[in-house]
Amino acid sequence: MNSASLLIVDDEAGVRESIRLIFGKQMRVLEASSSDEAVRKIRQETPDVILLDILMPGTDGLETLKQIKGIHPEGQVIMLTALNTARTAFSAKETGAFDYVTKPFDVDELRLRVERALEKTRLSRELEQLREEVGRKYGIENIVGKSKAMLEIFKAVSIVAGKKSTVLIIGESGTGKELIARAIHYNSERRSKPFVVVNCAALPDTLIESELFGYEKGAFTNAYQRKVGHFDIAHGGTLFLDEIGEMGLGTQSKLLRAIETETFTRLGGTEESTVDVRIIAASNRDLEKLAKEGGFRADLFYRLNVVSLHLPPLRVRREDIPLLADHFLRIKARENSMPSKTLSAEIVDCFMTYPWPGNVRELENLIERLTILSPNETVLLSDLPQAMRNQDQWATLREEVLRGSCPLSDAVDEFERELILRALQKSGFNRTKAASLLGTSRRVLRYRMEKLKIIESDPGQDDSKMSR
């Protein structure tokens, strides 16, 4: 609070002087003797609190208040009124004044009110900062990608953000559906209003309805209190319906109605509430197909599908992998207060061939683990989990064959050896089970094992191939 500032706007020098005496020690006190001077100082200094005299010759205090609110909305204004102008003070509060104090004022009371106003400014500044941070985090510049598919997505996000249309985001798990939904929200005019997430897969259908629409007291046995639903909470903002493919058909029709009419009724209620909510839905299932098969309402699908974004899996946009890896190396180092690591060339090669079933999330988690656990500044292939390194082994082998440095028959033998070893390991070194897993007979398996010189070793033994 040491850098707090207060502006006193009063045409009487005596009043300004006494205010300076009261607050001069704790904060910076600025003075203005007219409305024009006040506006000028507010523009330059953006004081936290403004004490504004309602009655000054030649100007209307209420007009000045409006002007102040226009140029510096975060500044809290306390009106100074004479007793007989208290009525005007009421309108002042309606115009956006924080408070009013009647003259002659009581010093303690004035202090208290100024403190409260400062607290309000501090809170709203903090909130503003937080919002900016969150907004920056979900700014398009923080969503990484240079593949054609992702550039198309970025373009769509910036176009669609400014509209109210419903958006459907389809993509495998971990491809960035929620990230894109947040980016749309934080790049829209709704950014200062809530972004509310409802995960339709996490709740049984009956609960989803009460989560979405809320209920009145006594709506059902355990409804002891009225509950506000997510539609209400998201008013003015965005409602993100994640995993919408999991929503039951009954809830789907209620949702469709709410979207189309922009009204809904709480469970057990009779009154209709009007809401202004933007809907973004996401699914990792093909909703169109699901709708054709009867698992999803076709009318809701068409209503949601006004704009649809398809997030491609990471394995089909490999050019984004190094970029994402760099991005996460920086972020994870910062988040964990550790120096940022680099990846060896072999690791990048391995990343480029690995199929990434968990998509971007898998890459992000892996980099976080490597940042924290890898002992070297440059992360080496040996720091990777076994499963990924094996993957790399095949990539290397394939390159070797194609380069002419390894005969095809050797590569095929290597592949067969690997498969047999894995099948044995998976079946607890039971040859009959391993053979059936591989779709062959026990006799053929034994023959192949002899040919490939596979000697079964105890799983406890330190044989790198067997311990995989």
Ligand X SMILES: Nc1ncnc2c1ncn2[C@@H]1O[C@H](COP(=O)(O)OP(=O)(O)OP(=O)(O)O)[C@@H](O)[C@H]1O
- The three-class DSSP label of residue 35 is helix
Stretch of residues binding ligand X (CB under 6 A), selected from 21-29, 115-123, 175-183, 286-294? 175-183
Task: Name the minimum Å distance from CB 12 to ligand X.
Answer: 58
Closer to ligand X at the Cβ: 98 or 328?
328
Task: Name the minimum Å distance from CB 168 to Mg ion.
Answer: 14
Q: How far is CA 214 from CA 223, 267, 278, in A?
A: 10, 6, 18
Task: Name the minimum Å distance from CB 80 to ligand X.
Answer: 50
Task: Name the minimum Å distance from CB 244 to Mg ion.
Answer: 11
**Residue 106 CB burial class (10 angstroms; 0-12, 13-18, ≥19):** exposed
DSSP state of 225: S
Task: Name the minimum Å distance from CB 199 to ligand X.
Answer: 8
143 is an interface residue for ligand X by CB under 6 A? yes
Q: Beta-carbon neighbour count of residue 330 at 10 Å?
A: 14
Task: Name which of Mg ion, ligand X, none residue 28 binds, using a CB cut-off of 5 to 8 Å depending on partner kind.
Answer: none
Per-position x/- string for 339-358, each x denoting binding to Mg ion as judged by CB under 5 A, each - no binding: --------------------
The sign one gets for the Cα dihedral 51, 57, 58, 61 is: positive
178 is an interface residue for Mg ion by CB under 5 A? yes
For residue 125, what are its two tokens? Answer: 């500044």
Name which position in 120, 285, 303, 361 contacts ligand X (CB under 6 A): 361
CB within 8 A of 127, min separation 6: which ones? none
284 is an interface residue for ligand X by CB under 6 A? yes
Q: How far is CA 370 from CA 23, 28, 329, 358, in A?
A: 54, 50, 9, 17
Per-position x/- string for 304-343, each x denoting binding to ligand X as judged by CB under 6 A, each - no binding: --------------------x--x----------------
Q: Which region, left, alpha or beta, applies to residue 72 given φ > 0 means left and ψ of -120 to 50 means alpha?
A: beta
Name which position in 147, 173, 305, 344 contacts ligand X (CB under 6 A): 173
H or E element at residue 109: helix 107-137
362 is an interface residue for Mg ion by CB under 5 A? no
Closer to ligand X at the Cβ: 100 or 186?
186
Closer to ligand X at the Cβ: 15 or 143?
143
274 beta partners: 263
CA distance 158 to 137: 15
> For binding to Mg ion (CB under 5 A), which residues are involved?
178
